[in-house]
Structures are given as C-alpha cells and as structure tokens.
Structure 1
Amino acid sequence: MDALPALGHFLDQEHHFVLRVYFEDTDLTGMVYHANYLRYMERARSDMLLAAGIDQRAAQEAGKGAYAIRNLGIRYRAPARLGDELTVVTRLLRLRAASVDIHQRVMRENDILSEADVEAAFVTPQGRASRQPGEWLAAFEPLIWKGN
C-alpha cells in the first residue's frame, strides 16, 4: 500500500499543519478540551513524518518499530474555540540514534495557544528502544532547527 500524502508542509525547517476546531473538540464552555491539543500535535507529528518521506506504517508492518512518546511537557496559554483555524508548527530540535526532541506550538494566527516539548523514542514491536532507521536519520538531518 502506498503511503498517504502529507496534508501539511515544511516552511524552511518548520512543519505547518492546519486544522479547524469542530464542535466535537470543545467542552461545555465552547473551548477546546485540553487533551485535544495533544491530539492536534500527534496529527501534526505524523503528518511531518509523511512530509519528510518517512512511512511509519511500512516500518511497523515490516517489524522495524515505531515512535513512542517518552517524555512530554505541555503549556497552555490561551483557549481555542469552536470554528478557529489553528496551525500546529513543529520543529525538530535534536536528533539522537534512538530518539528525536521536538518542539510544537498550536497557533491561532500569531498567538501561541499551547506549546509542548516532546521526546519521541524509536521502539521495536516488543517495546524496547532501538536505533532509528538510517534513512529516517538522513531525512531528519536537514530538518533540524537551526534558527533562533
């Protein structure tokens, strides 16, 4: 099966993933429920991999492994609301043999609504840490954030 096309795109070394807030994303106050920011970030990370030419599904089906979140710290700054158009901006900060450090921001225009620092570790199907596939490291290398 062919890999799905990416929905987002890279702008220099940042991946931009656009989404809209729907009713199902909100709580009784009409604001986005806190856990949904994590879902938005997960979608953006998965899309970033596709945009970088990495097929997680193929690796998983071949028995190589997949990413698992090892560490995550999230900060909420302002609420998103029903109908908002949001952009999840993802930067790869540091690449190691078995993991990658990622910074993500959920934005509404120029306002940061939420941001997170994520460590994704590559794990075997048995759940043990493993070296990332060499072609993945090569795909990530030019995408490591070198900005301010």
Structure 2
Amino acid sequence: MAVDPAVGATFSWPTRVYWEDTDAGGVVYHAQYLAFMERARTEWMRAHGYGQELLRREHDLVFAVRAMQIDFLKPARLDDALAVEVELTQCRRASAVFAQTVRRGDEVLLTAQVRVAALDAGGFRPRGIPSPLLEALQALERPR
C-alpha cells in the first residue's frame, strides 16, 4: 500500500476534552495527553495508508514509544476543542521521531518529541522497517 500524497506531512487530529480526561478541577490530567498524542500518531499512519493492524498482519511490524520529551505550556480544560498535530521529523531504519503539538485554537498547550522503535509483532524485538514503507515515510520527513 502506498502513502497517499494528498495527505500533508503535517497532520491534525481533532479531539474534545471530556470529564474522564480531567482531574477534579476540570483540568486535563497530564497523562491523558499521552493518549491524545498516541491516537493522533495512529490516525496519521492510517491517513497515509498504514493502519496498525495492517502493519502487524502484513509486515509483522509494530511501533512502540521508546522515548518522549514533553513541555506542558498551558492547561487544557473540560470541553475544550483541541487539535493534536503530528509531523514526522526523522525516520531511520528501525526508529522514527515525531514532533507533536496540542493546540486550543491558536494557543499552543503542549509540545513533544516522540521517538518510536520498530519491533517485530510476535516477539517485540527491534527490527528494520520494510524498505517500501521506510522510503515512503522518509519522503514525509520534515526535519526541524
């Protein structure tokens, strides 16, 4: 399956803050941002033609977060409409780095750098990204 050239390298996934995402004060609990970012990366891959189930089934490939650097700049609150952005900044043979931003309108609430490792789906051991997928992903890189 090929990457859809109509989908831009920067991807934005909309979400809304629900009660379950917040602490008792109605502020988004810090760990919930991890779920928002995971969903956005998953939808970014799907938009480019590589859903996680397809990667697992056809390529014996899964991605796992290896490292993450997060800057929490402003809080999101109950009922806020957010945009979770994804950009691929680097793709190597067995890993990829994503820049992610969470916005409320024009306000940047969070920035993150997320490194994912390519693993074989059966044993969760490091492995290379198959060449056609690697080339397609490298074509989407936006180095910072």
Distance 1:122 1:19 in 2: 27
Identity %: 35
1:82 aligned counterpart, secondary structure: coil
Alignment check: 8 A CA contact 1:98 1:122 kept: yes
CA-based RMSD of the aligned residues comes to: 1.6
Runs of 5+ in structure 1 lacking a partner? 1-8
- Per the TM alignment, residue 62 of structure 1 is displaced from its structure 2 partner at its CA by 4.2
Q: Does 1:107 align with 2:107?
A: no
Higher mean displacement: 59-68 or 45-54: 59-68
Aligned to 2:135: 138
Distance 1:134 1:127 in 2: 19
Alignment check: 8 A CA contact 1:92 1:143 kept: yes
1:78 aligned counterpart, secondary structure: coil
| Mapping of residues 30-69 of structure 1, within 5 Å | 30-62=26-58, 64-69=60-65
TM-score by length of 2: 0.89
Alignment check: 8 A CA contact 1:52 1:140 kept: no
Distance 2:103 2:15 in 1: 10
Runs of 5+ in structure 2 lacking a partner? 1-5
- Where has structure 1 moved over 6 Å in runs of 4 or more? none
Q: Does 1:82 align with 2:73?
A: no
Distance 1:88 1:39 in 2: 11
Structure 1 residues 91, 64: closer, same or farther in 2, change over 3 A?
Answer: same
Q: How many residues in Structure 1 have an aligned counterpart in Structure 2?
A: 138
TM-score by length of 1: 0.86
Q: What's the CA shift string for 1:51-95, capped at 9, x where partnerless?
A: 111132123234612001111111101100111110011111011
- Per the TM alignment, residue 114 of structure 1 is displaced from its structure 2 partner at its CA by 1.0
1:104 aligned counterpart, secondary structure: strand
Higher mean displacement: 58-67 or 115-124: 58-67
